[in-house]
Each structure stands twice: as C-alpha cells, then as structure tokens.
Amino acid sequence: MNLLDPQGPVAAANSTILVDSVFIMLAIVVPTIFAILAFAFWFRASNTKARYQPDFVYSGRVEMVVWAIPALTVILLGGVAWIGSHKLDPAVPVPGTGSPVRIQAVSLDWKWLFIYPDQRIATVNTLTVPAGAELNFQLTSSSVMNVFFIPQLGSMIYSMNGMVTRLNLRADNEGKLQGLAAHFSGDGFPDMMFDVNVISPLAFPDWVANTAKSGAVLNEESYKKLMQQGIERGRPTYRLDDPRLFDLIATQHIPPGPGPELISDAGRPHSGGHDAR
Amino acid sequence: MPAGRTVEGTMLGKLDWSAIPFEQPIPLIAGGVVLVGILAVLIWVVVKGHLPYLWHEWITSVDHKRIGVMYILLASVMLLRGGSDAIMMRIQQAIAYQSQGYLPPEHYNQIFSAHGTIMIFFVAMPFVIGLMNLIVPLQLGVRDVAFPTLNSVGFWLTATGALLVNLSLVIGEFARTGWLAFPPLSELSYSPGVGVDYYAWSLQISGVGTLVAGVNLVTTVLKLRTKGMNYLRMPMFCWTTLASNLLIVAAFPILTATLAMLLLDRYLGFHFFTNEAGGNVMMFMNLIWAWGHPEVYILVLPAFGIFSEVVSTFSGKALFGYRSMVLATMAICVIAFMVWLHHFFTMGAGPDVNAIFGIASMIIAVPTGVKIYNWLFTMYGGRIRFTTPMLWAVGFMVTFIIGGLTGVLVAVPPADFMLHNSMFLVAHFHNVIIGGVLFGAFAGFEYWFPKAFGFRLDERWGKLAFWFTFTGFYVTFVPLYVAGMLGMTRRLQHYDVAEWRPWMIVAAIGMAVLSIGVICQIMQLVVSIRNREALRDRTGDPWDGRSLEWATSSPPPVFNFAFHPDVRGEDAYWDMKLSAQQQSLDHEEPEYHDIEMPRNSPTGFVCAFFATIMGFALIWHIWWMVILGGIGAFATFVVFAWRDHDEYVIPAAEVAAIDRVNLEERRNLVSMAGAI
C-alpha cells in the first residue's frame, strides 16, 4: 500500500506533488536546522572564541530576509497547491481506454457495498475494475460518515448519508490492491478493508457475466438486511434488481441504517452505560 | 420487572449496577488504583492535620500564583492518565496484527477517544493556562489578575471536567467516537450509551472554566500593567498570552454552542446533526474545526512565548526582532481563524475552496517561520547556557521545524488527498503538539519552578528527562510517519497488513523510551524536593533573568511587589539591574504603604462541587439531582455577588518586614554581580 508506488495516474500525480513539496521545503528546513545546531554550539557560554554581541537585537536586513524566506517558499508551494487542487479535483473524470465504468460505493456498518448500475451487479468488500478504464465513483453512506480510499490509486473522499460525493480514478496495472475505510466509524471499523482486483479489460465482461449469474439478489429488502451492524467476513456478490438502488439510499428513501440493537433488559450483557429501558 | 427496580430506575435515572464494568478488569483496576490513591492522600491529609492548611492556603486561594500551580498539578496528573492511554494504544497496535490484540474494540475505541480529549483539554490547556496564571501578573508588575475569584472558579470548573472524565472509567463508559465526537456516530442512534454524554458535559463544564480564564487573562493584560509597561515593552510571553486568550474568548463559545447542539440532539430529539430530518453533519465539521483550529494556536502561542523568554534569558541577550515577533504573534492570532477547512479537504469541496484554504494554511507558516529565525538570531552572538529549559528550547526548534514541514505538506490539497486521517497525520500533530506545546510546557516548568517554590530543580535528572523524551519522541513518531506513507489509517484496533507491523513495534519501543523520560521528570521532582535546601534560591533571580517576575523574591509574597515597578524599556528587570536602580536599592528605607489584597473565597470550589453533581446527574438523566446541582451553583454565585468584604489589608509594617529580606538578598546579588 506504499503511497510512493502508485498504480494509477491520480496516485502518481498526488505522490509527485507530495515528494516535490517535501523537497521544496527541505531546501530551507535543512539549512535552518543546521544553523540552529551550529549557532547553539558555537555560541555556548564556554566557547571563548565566540564574540558576545548583546546588542545585536535588531537588523533590518536580517528581518527582511527572515520574512522573505518563508514567504517565498509559501508563494511557490501556494502555486503548487492551486494548480494541484484544480488538476486533481476528485470530481473531474480521468480519461481512460474503453468505456467508463460507473461504480456506486456505499459505506455500511461495517462493510463496503459496490454497486455497478450499468452491469446490474453488486459486490461486498471486493472491488473489481478493468485496467486502464475511466472509473467514475459515486459515494454515499448508509449510516455514519466514512472515507473511501485505495492508497495506490490516489485521492480519498468522504461518504456521507443523504449526500453523494464524487471521485474519479484509473487503475493502470492489473493486479491486486487494497482499499480501506479511512474515517473511524465504530466497533467494526478495522474490518472494513477491501480487496481491489484490477483485471484486464478483456476479462472484465466475463467477470460481470459470472457475477450476474449469482444466486443472491440485491433489492431494497436484502439491502436492509445487509445494512445491519456487523462484520462481513465473506465476499458476497449480487445480481442488482433495481439500478436505482443507490439513489434510493442517497435520497434516504431507504432510511439510514440502524445503530446498535438495544438488547432487552432480560438478555442484557453487563455492558457499561447502555440504556436498556 | 421487579418493583424495587422501577423505583431505583426513576430515582437514579439511567444509573444502575450494570454501569460498573465488572467484566472489564483493566478500567476497573485502573479506576480502583486511582481511587485508592485519592483515598490514601485524603486520609494522610486528614490524619496529619493538613486539611485546614490546604483549605485556607490552596483550595480557597484566589492568589494567581497558587491557582497557576494547581492548574499545573492538575495537568501533570492528567498527563499520567493520558500517557497510560497512549502506552495501551501503542502496545495494542504492536500486537494486534492478524489478531484482536488484548483490547476489544469497545475498550480500545474509548481509550483513543479519552487519550485525545484528556491530552488536549486536561493536559495541554491547564498546563499553559497554569503557566500564564503564574507568570503573567508578575511579568506585568502587578499584584493579581483582573478577576481573582473568577480565576479560582475557572480552575475548579476545569478540575470538574477532569473529574467527570475519570469517573467514566468506573461508572459507565467514555465516548467511543474519537476526541471530536463526529456525528452521526456520536448521535443517540449510533452511540446510545453515556460515553458521549460524559464527553460533552465534561467539555461543557470545563469549557466555561476555560472561557472564564480567557476573559480574565485578556483583561489582565489589557487593563492591569504597571507604570510604564506599555504594550511594546511587555515581555513576549505576555504578548502570546494576550493572543492566545483572545483566541480562547473568540473560539470557545463556538465549541460550547456546537456541543450544545449535539446535546440537544441527544437529549431533546433535535436534528442539528442527525441523518434524519435535515440534520447536517458537515455543519458540525465546520463548527468544530472553527473552534478546533484556533485551539491549536491557543496551545502553541503560549509555548512560543515561553521559548522566547527562555532563549533570550539563556543567550544573555534581548529577544531578536521583538517588534517583528509581536507582529508575527498577532498575525498568527488572526489567520488562525481562516484555515479551518483544511481539516476536511477530502469531503468533496471544489478546487477553488480547497486551494484557498490550503494557501491560507500555508500563510500561517510565514509568521511561524519568522519566529524560528528570530530565536535563531537571538542565539547568534549570545552566551548560551545549556540549562534544562534551554535544552527543551533547542529541542523544540529542531522538532517543530519538522512538524511544520509535514504540516505545510498536508496543507497542499493533493497531498492531503493521500494523507488525510492517516498515521502520517497522527505523527504530524503529535510532532507539533509534543514538540511544540509539551516541550514548551516542560521548558516553562523548569524555568519558572524556582520562582514558584524558591528552589531549583535538579539539573541532572532534568537533562536525562529531556534526552529520553527527545529520543523517545523520534523513535515513536518517525515510524508513524512511515506507516502513514504505507497507507495506514488511524484508529485501527487491529490490522492484517504485514508491512505496517515492524513500524508499530518500533513505535511501541519508542513509547517505552518516552515513558522513561516521564519517569525521569518525576524523579527530578522527588530528588529536588529532597535536596531543596541545597537547591534553595534566595535571590529570586536564579537564571539572571530579564523580566519583572525575577525582580521579586521566590516564592513571591502574596502581594508580588511591595512597590509597583517603574518600567523604562523592554526587558524591564535587566535594565534595572544594569542601572542598579531596582527596588530602590540606592535609596534609604522606602516608605511602605498598606496593601489591599482580595480575600480568599470558597466560591470556586463550592461552585465546582455543585457543577460536578449537576454534570453527573445530566449524564445519567437524574433530573432531581440536576435541579439540586443547578440551584446550588446559582446560589453560590448569589452569595458571592452579595458579599460585603472582598478585600483585606496587609499593614505597611508587615509589607516592610517581608520586603526588607528581599532587598537584602538583592543587594548581595547586585554587589556580587558588580564584583565579577
């Protein structure tokens, strides 16, 4: 999951900016640290060779330089930030080969649901995408906030209930990557890591066809079961019943996922502070 | 349901025996140990007959120095609690590779939430407020803060918040939402327990205390300065205190309002931040960071002030570029309010918004960089004495630059798109808060301890503490930077990624080194108290200081100064020493006058007592007790407001007796300096 080993153009651009910014800053940080240590050492009280200048407390030239150095650095980096923010706006499509793939990701408690509306299929905790294709993500959440992040593909974006956020990526090389949830969402949060399979564009239609043969169907009913709090160890796949399911979730036609079940008084474990009444 | 249960249920709200976590041994044992400790101290105090002393000299004291010391004591105790949480987290992440570790999620999640809450609100805040309380009136050459009794109220309300947070260890649970309790996770539907209520009410009550402290210190700096102490003659620490407290006054009401809205959601079914009925979680994000980002500067500005004093004193020079420093401080104060959005670049704002807030955030680095260079040039041409406070200062300068670098890096939106919420970010903010605020607090502690207690701290243990903490910091947090670059996100109770593991183990080792640093710090205190006669400082000026706090005895008399000092320039006391005019040394016996000082008042303590009851009752929905606590706190204020006498007089003869001793020591000091 090394950020400096990008597998797509977005991650490559992000990490280039990251590395460039570090080097721009190191150009002034390293000499400054060196100067601090050198001055501290040379002007130690026991060094009789150092000249004591108690009246050196103001110098217009020095002041100009010390304001100018950080200001110039920030102007340079500000340019990087301005251009970078516009070039790498997550909402802007990343052109690729073949037809774009639309993916609608929903963060659930505590798993990821990936809906492929055009292919009429859906998967849980596995994201399969063709290499080189433009990937358009739409994100929402069934309950609490979360963040969708595939480190080696780049930019992360929040998912929030009742809202749709957009993210565009492209995976250039076939292989297995890992994605993760990057905003704490409760007890099952660490189990929200997911596999990303980048397969050849030729194999993608076969994969879609195989998945569509899946016995399980994702509709409002089975979605409501899926959104109950719990960890999903398997990698279930679904045939999508209604391609508008994502919109129903995002517009809250399907109400937000419930929180923890309140266990009745009789069967209540000794768990601190839960209101049972 | 048995009848008895119902009665108990209504009388005690949500509280019943299930609130005590019998099945979780760790918090119970920890709570038990704390409880036994507190009981042991209480019994010792009562048996030894120290209770009247504590009550008259400390608990009801309105002396800013005493209150400052109590703030620092509170912060130190809570540092141990927050540090234990940190140790537990580091151990968990070191062993929870492909396993559950030793902490289940419901416990681990409470620990990281409590760690953040405690370290910010009950360690960093009281530590810097304590130092400001202790030193600022002395530096300004005045006898007390503007509102002495309110000052005491502020401290005790902060202590109430700390008490409630610790109470959650044994009764109920703490929030499992992270230290900022983001909704909708913190809403009733997803966090039905009392954890979030403990969090919110603790912060509401201590937040009132902080606001009061802020109002008090702003007024003190603006209105109470000794003769000739105009703004551009104030020591740097007073300037940073002013900036920091202006931020408190402007930002803390935002926190209070935000948490109030969250509480309205949870208690009365409002929909400010819920998923349903038009609630808006992004509003919470904006509001909490509109407080949260200034909060960072509330903490770090006083630390900058401390370093300015320390670097200048131990370099034997006035601060380089004083006016530039003042300008930089006030620039940070203003810009701090314009950058909050950088905490959520990844929420989907447009490129213009992201870029503007990114650039605004970088602009703060300019005045901060200027400060670093001005300290650098203060050292240039100096005669640097490497005492413990100076070691902390140099350690800070190096560490803070690195934290600044990573900070500017995450202010570049495309870089933040990869680093948001990652371990890299965790490493960054620990880099600036430990390297900036904590190092500053320790430097201030070492530097001003002789002023507060009249003896120095042991240098050998102090230097050991510095080197262990400094090394431990890097061994702990450099691995977290690396883990962040490997894609690791924060708050993971367990993980299956092999490449993260070695870094978590190194970080745990670093934590052990850091802990040795803390132990050295405790040893330093113990050793110094035992050797206090050898370390005694009778001059009141052990470091060859430059500002007015060193012009009076250590510890200072309750009235601080027998005469209001007359300030003729920057570095007031240094000038006095140079011209040997200080405190009428060249005169015959001066004519002393009676001094009026504020009376001690139990208002703060009593008010906090009722606030504790009210807070606890609110958390557990025990409504009769809420009313009781509310009436009690209000009645306390009414009684205070209708008081007849609030001052007492120290007769001139007593002032003279105290001051003569001080003058004698000071004459020796000056004549010795003259001889050299």
Q: Do B371 and B350 share a structural domain? A: yes
* CA contacts within 13 A on the Cβ side of B670: 22
Q: How many domains does chain B have?
A: 3
Range of the structural domain that residue B581 is part of: 537-594+660-676
**Stretch A92-120: mean pLDDT:** 92
Tokens of B625: 């007790």
Which 3-state string (H, E, C) describes B211-272?
Answer: HHHHHHHHHHHHHCCCCCCCHHHCCHHHHHHHHHHHHHHHHHHHHHHHHHHHHHHHHHCCCC
pLDDT for A42-62, tens place per residue? 999 888 888 888 888 888 898
Domain ranges across chain A:
9-49+58-87, 101-250
Q: What is the DSSP letter of B158?
A: H
What is the predicted pLDDT for the residue at B595? 87
pLDDT at B672: 64
Residues B158 and B299 in one domain: no
**Which of B168, B339, B418 is the best residue to mutate to test the A interface, defined by the most A CB atoms within 10 Å of its own CB?**
B418
- At B317, list the tokens: 């020079």
The partner residue sitting opposite A36, judged by closest CB among B177, B398, B492, is B398
Q: B598 to chain A, minimum CA–CA distance in Å?
A: 40
Predicted local confidence at residue B33, as pLDDT: 81
Contacts for A75 with CB less than 8 Å, ≥ 6 apart: none
B410 and B338 in a common domain: yes
For A252, nearest residue in chain B (alpha carbons):
B276
Query: Tokens 């709570």 sit at which residue?
Result: B31
For chain A, give the mean pLDDT: 88
Examine the pLDDT at B464 and tell me if it is beyond 70: yes
With the CA atoms of B512, B514, B518 and B519 taken in that order, what torsion angle do they form, in degrees rounded to the nearest 10?
30
Q: Are residues B509 and B572 in the same domain?
A: no
Domain presence at residue B651: no
Domain end among B218, B252, B279: B279
- Examine residue B629 and state whether it is found in any structural domain, yes or no: no
- What pLDDT is stored for residue B23 in this prediction? 72
Q: What is the DSSP string of A148-211?
A: EEETTTEEEEEE-TT--EEEEE---S-EEEEEEE-S--STTGGGG-EEEEEE-TTHHHHHHHHH
* Sequence letter at residue B614: M
Listed range (A164-168, B399-403, B416-420, B553-557) with the worst mean pLDDT:
B553-557
- Rounded to the nearest angstrom, the minimum Cα separation between A235 and chain B is 17
Query: Percentage of chain A with pLDDT > 70?
Result: 94
Q: Which two tokens stand for residue B180?
A: 């900022």
Put simply, the answer to whether A88 touches B414 (Cβ < 8 Å) is yes
pLDDT for B120-147, tens place per residue?
999 999 999 999 999 999 999 999 899 9
CA of B167 vs chain A CAs: smallest distance (Å): 12
Q: Which residues does chain B have within 8 Å of residue A13's beta carbon, measured at their own beta carbons?
A: 414
Residue A98 clears pLDDT 80, i.e. is over it: yes
For tokens 């006498």, what's the residue? Answer: B645
Q: Please report, in angstroms and rounded to a whole number, the separation of the first and last CA atoms in chain A.
A: 46
- Does B641 map to a domain? no
User: Do the beta carbons of residue B191 and residue B176 sit within 8 Å?
Assistant: yes
**Confidence label for B570 from pLDDT (cuts 50, 70 and 90):** confident
| CA B355 vs CA A165, A230, B362, B565: distances in Å | 18, 38, 11, 50
Higher-confidence position of B300 and B26: B300
Do B367 and B296 lie in one domain? The reply is yes
- Tokens representing A114? 């990936």
Quick check: B519 pLDDT over 50?
Answer: yes
- Chain B interface, best mutation among A10, A18, A55, A107, by max B CB count within 10 A: A18
The one-letter code for the residue type at B626 is V
B197, B303: one domain: no
Place of tokens 């797509």: A8
- What pLDDT does A272 receive? 38
Flag if B189 and A151 touch (Cβ within 8 Å). no
Q: Does residue B6 have a pLDDT over 70?
A: no
Strand partners, A113: A106, A124
**pLDDT band, very low/low/confident/very high, at B587 (cuts 50, 70, 90):** low
With beta carbons less than 8 A apart as the criterion, state whether B429 and B411 touch.
no
Give a yes or no: residue B165 inside a domain.
yes
Q: What value does the mean pLDDT take over residues B201-205?
A: 94
Closest residue to B275, CB basis, from A87, A162, A165: A162
Give yes or no for residue B401 having a pLDDT over 80: yes
**Looking at chain B, which residue has its C-alpha nearest residue A160?**
B281
Is residue B8's pLDDT more than 60?
no
Averaged over B110-118, what is the pLDDT? 94
pLDDT digit string, tens, across residues A2-35 = 888 999 999 999 999 999 999 988 999 999 999 9
Give the model's pLDDT for residue B674: 52
Candidates B375, B364, B443; CA nearest to B404 is B364
Identity at A134, one-letter amino acid code: E
Q: Is A102 helix (H, G, I), strand (E, B) or coil?
A: strand
Shared domain for B394 and B256, answered yes or no, is no
Q: Assess if residue B1 is contained within a domain.
A: no
- Compute the distance between CA of residue A70 and CA of residue B468 in angstroms, rounded to an integer: 31
Q: Which residues, in sequence order, are bridge partners of residue A240?
A: A218
**pLDDT tens, residue by residue, B303-355:** 999 999 999 999 999 999 999 999 999 999 999 999 999 999 999 888 999 99
Which one, of B515, B552, B418, lies nearest residue B85 by Cα?
A: B515
- In single-letter form, the type of residue at position B203 comes to L
Q: Tens of pLDDT along B282-296?
A: 999 999 999 999 999
Are B263 and B329 in the same domain? no
Query: Tokens 């620092």 correspond to what residue?
Result: B72
In total, the C-beta contacts within 8 angstroms joining chain A to chain B are 328
Domain boundary among B236, B251, B279: B279
What pLDDT sits at residue B578?
77
Of B340, B309, B337, B341, nearest to B325 by C-alpha is B309
Which two structure tokens, joined as six digits, stand for B221?
A: 């700096």
Confidence grade of residue B676 (pLDDT, cut at 50, 70, 90): very low
Chain B residue numbers touching A78 (CB-CB < 8 A): 358-359, 362
The two structure tokens encoding residue B382: 């100096």
Is the CB of A268 less than 8 angstroms away from the CB of B370?
A: no
Angle of helix B322-335 versus helix A60-87 axis, rounded to 10: 20
Q: Is B82 exposed, middle or buried (0-12, 13-18, 19+ CB in 10 A)?
A: buried
Best of A144, A149, A194, A263 to disrupt the B interface by mutation (most B CBs within 10 Å)? A144
pLDDT of residue B35: 82
Residues B218 and B78 in one domain: yes
Among the partner-chain residues A25, A36, A271, the one whose CB lies closest to the CB of B405 is A25
Percent of chain B with pLDDT over 90: 64
Report DSSP letters for B346-412, one per residue.
GG---HHHHHHHHHHHHHHHHHHHHHHHHHHHHHTT--B---HHHHHHHHHHHHHHHHHHHHHHHTS
Q: What count of other Cβ atoms lies within 10 Å of the Cβ of residue B197? A: 27
pLDDT at site B170: 82
Chain B residues in contact with A260 by the CB 8 A cut-off are: 190, 192
Nearest CB to B193: which of A29, A178, A274? A274
Mean pLDDT of B262-269: 92
Measured from the Cβ of residue A202, the count of other Cβ atoms closer than 10 Å reads: 10
Q: How far B502 CA lies from chain A's nearest CA (Å)?
A: 15
Is the Cβ pair B420, A15 closer than 8 Å?
no
CA distance A183 to chain B (A): 7
Contact B365 A74 (CB under 8 A): yes
Interface test with B, best of A106, A107, A145, A159 (most B CBs within 10 A): A145
pLDDT at B554: 86
pLDDT given for residue B582 in this prediction: 47
Cβ <8 Å between B370 and A67 = yes
- For residue A266, is pLDDT > 60? no
Residue B391 lies in a domain: yes
Alpha carbons B287 and B285: distance in angstroms, whole number: 6
Residue B632 lies in a domain: no
pLDDT at A263 over 50: no
Q: Look at B60 and B587; give whichever has higher pLDDT.
A: B60
CA distance B100 to B96: 5
| CB-CB under 8 Å, A58 with B322 | yes
Report the candidate in A112, A129, A126 with the shortest Cα–Cα distance to residue A226: A112
CATH number, domain containing residue B130: 1.20.210.10
Exposed, middle or buried, A14 (CB in 10 Å: 0-12/13-18/19+)?
A: buried
Q: Does the pLDDT at position B673 exceed 70?
A: no
Band of pLDDT at residue B193, cut at 50, 70 and 90? confident
A273 near B193, Cβ under 8 Å? Answer: yes
User: Which pTM does this prediction carry?
Assistant: 0.91
Please report the pLDDT score of residue A184 as a whole number: 94
In angstroms, the separation between the Cα of residue A174 and the nearest Cα of chain B is 20
Q: What average pLDDT does this structure show over B363-388?
A: 92
For residue B488, the SS3 value is coil
Position with higher pLDDT, B568 vs B441: B441
Structure tokens given for B522 = 């405790």
**Same domain, yes or no: B274 and B407:** no
Contacts of B381 in chain A (CB under 8 A): 43, 51-54, 56
Look at residues B279, B304, B334 and tell me which one is the last residue of a structural domain: B279
Q: Quote the minimal CA–CA distance from B266 to chain A in Å.
A: 13
Split at pLDDT 50, 70, 90, the class of B551 is confident
- Mean pLDDT score of chain B: 89
Contact B659, B565 (CB under 8 A): no
Q: List CB contacts of B271: < 8 A, sequence separation 6 or more.
A: B265, B277, B278, B279
Residue of chain A whose Cα is closest to the Cα of B366: A70
Confidence of residue B200 (pLDDT cuts 50, 70, 90): very high
Reference B426, options B382, B380, B474, B491; nearest CA is B491
Q: What length is written for chain A? A: 277
Give the whole-angstrom CA distance, residue B650 versus residue B628. 39
Per-residue confidence band for B267, with pLDDT thresholds at 50, 70 and 90:
very high
The answer to whether the CB atoms of A186 and B176 lie below 8 A apart is yes
Say if residue B451's pLDDT is above 90: yes
Residues B600-626: tens digit of each pLDDT: 888 899 999 999 999 999 999 889 999
Q: Does the N-terminal peptide bond of residue B289 adopt cis geometry, omega within 30 degrees of 0?
A: no
- Long-range (24+ apart) CB contacts under 8 A made by B85-91 are B85/B111, B85/B112, B85/B114, B85/B115, B85/B118, B86/B115, B86/B511, B87/B511, B87/B515, B88/B26, B89/B115, B90/B476, B90/B504, B90/B507, B90/B508, B90/B510, B90/B511, B91/B508, B91/B511
Query: Cβ of B172 and A152 within 8 Å?
Result: no
Those residues with Cβ within 8 angstroms of residue A263's Cβ, 6 or more apart along the chain or in another chain: A269, A274, A276
Cβ distance of B189 and A258 shorter than 8 Å: yes
Residue B224 has pLDDT above 70, yes or no: yes
Question: CB-based contacts of B637: which residues, under 8 Å, 6+ apart?
Answer: B603, B607
User: Residue B517: pLDDT above 80?
Assistant: yes
CB atoms within 10 A of CB B442: 25
Do B475 and B565 belong to one domain? no
Percent of chain B with pLDDT over 70: 96
Backbone angles phi, psi at B649, to 5 degrees: -110, 130
Chain A: closest CA distance from residue B270 (Å): 17
What is the end-to-end Cα distance of chain B in Å, rounded?
A: 86
Q: Are residues B358 and B261 in the same domain?
A: no
CATH number for the region A101-250 comes to 2.60.40.420
Query: Above 70 in pLDDT, residue B586?
Result: no
Q: Using CA atoms in the order B134, B139, B141, B145, what is the torsion angle rounded to 10 degrees?
A: -40
CB contact under 8 A, A4 and B485: yes
Highest mean pLDDT among A266-275, B149-158, B564-573, B636-645: B149-158
